Amino acid sequence: LHASAGLNLGLRFLPHASAFNLLSPPKPDGDFASRLVWFDAFVTNVDRTPRNVNLLVHQGQVWLIDHGAALYFHHSWQNYLGQSESAFPLIKDHVLLPLADRLEEADRVNTGKLNRDIFEAIIAAIPDPWLNSQAPFPDREAHRQAYADFLERRLRSSHIFVGEAERARAQIL
């Protein structure tokens, strides 16, 4: 936590958890890998690579940790709606991409489950101190709406990042 100063959010402490390793059990199946690759492409998470997996194993279950590098558009907010339609080429470095053989199915399932109401409910739970006072919005509500706008548009554009993930996967197989 020394490198991550400020307010941090955790669901629970995982005593005796170990770092995820593709060579050690549990090995994720194609469904899990596809859903995670889809999610990380959706939130533009650049930080789930073989060098830094940000996955823990605890009691046989894989836990996703450290999403601090996701939604990186919010560091500048410049053309954020345009960025919502990006292909996210960095998905090529995702640790689970080789196993993600069900990306179209993951896209169908996830786009069927997510919507603006869900995004707004999640965004409403963001603590006020986490909303950057340097962001180009008149108030926190406008800031929250910008996140919802980005996520809603990103969801509608999922075929773009799914296509990129499929191309990247084909190149490494």
Read off the pLDDT of residues 55-83 as tens digits, 9 standing for 90 and up.
999 999 988 888 777 898 888 899 999 99
Q: What is the pLDDT of residue 16?
A: 92
Over range 139-155, report the average pLDDT: 97
How far apart are alpha carbons 140 and 58 in whole angstroms? Answer: 36
Tokens of 53: 């997996």
d(CA 66, CA 127): 17
Predicted confidence (pLDDT) per residue in 2-30, tens digit: 565 666 667 778 889 989 898 888 889 99
pLDDT tens for 105-134 read: 999 999 999 999 999 999 999 989 888 777
Q: Is 63 helix (H, G, I), strand (E, B) or coil?
A: strand
Element (H, E) at 58: strand 55-58
Whether the upstream peptide bond of residue 26 has omega within 30° of 0, thus cis, is yes
